[in-house]
């Protein structure tokens, strides 16, 4: 059963990823940004990427779990042309693959599978009798 579901899952997840990225991969533009750590209101260092477009500097959030960025590191940035402040670092982890989507895409089908299995595991005797009666009936032709 998993051999039939796995290709369907991979295709659906790949299409979901490709068409839901923000900023959009097909419409976005690329630039080069520099990582700087800025302290937030709680004096905690926060990674930001700064990039320049048409002599104007923009900043975007660069922090993401399991992503190691160094101060003054040069990274590729993808941004929305209509709103350059809407930008992201263009890397596999954080742009194409994200924790919440990866975990949800695995857990939701598993929960639904085990729920369906639990619901259909112990049918009532009446249901079993109905199923056996339906199997015993000969199929009628649509037109006699």
Condensed to tens digits (0 to 9), the pLDDT of residues 24-63 reads 999 999 999 999 999 888 888 999 999 999 999 999 999 8
3-state SS class at 62:
coil
C-alpha–C-alpha distance, residues 23 and 77, integer Å = 10
Instruction: Supply 61's token pair.
Output: 């959030």
What burial letters (b/e) apply to 28-44, b meaning 16+ CB within 10 Å?
beebebbbbeeeeeeee
Residue in 4, 2, 28 with CA at minimum distance from that of residue 95: 28
Q: For the whole model, what pTM was predicted? A: 0.73
Those residues with Cβ within 8 angstroms of residue 18's Cβ, 6 or more apart along the chain or in another chain: 25
Q: Are 23 and 88 in contact (CB under 8 A)?
A: yes
For the cut 90, the answer to whether the pLDDT of residue 128 exceeds it is no
């Amino acid at each position: 059963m998993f051999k039939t579901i796995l290709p369907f899952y991979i295709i659906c997840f790949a299409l979901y990823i490709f068409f839901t990225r923000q900023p959009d991969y097909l419409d976005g533009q690329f630039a080069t940004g520099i990582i700087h750590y800025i302290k937030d209101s709680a004096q905690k260092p926060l990674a930001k990427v700064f990039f320049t477009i048409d002599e104007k500097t923009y900043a975007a959030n660069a922090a993401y779990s399991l992503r190691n960025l160094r101060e003054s590191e040069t990274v590729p940035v993808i941004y929305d042309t209509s709103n350059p402040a809407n930008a992201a670092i263009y890397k596999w982890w954080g742009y194409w693959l994200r924790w919440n989507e990866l975990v949800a895409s695995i857990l939701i089908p598993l929960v639904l599978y085990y729920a369906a299995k639990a619901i259909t595991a112990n049918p009532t005797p009446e249901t079993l009798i109905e199923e056996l009666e339906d199997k015993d009936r000969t199929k009628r032709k649509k037109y006699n």
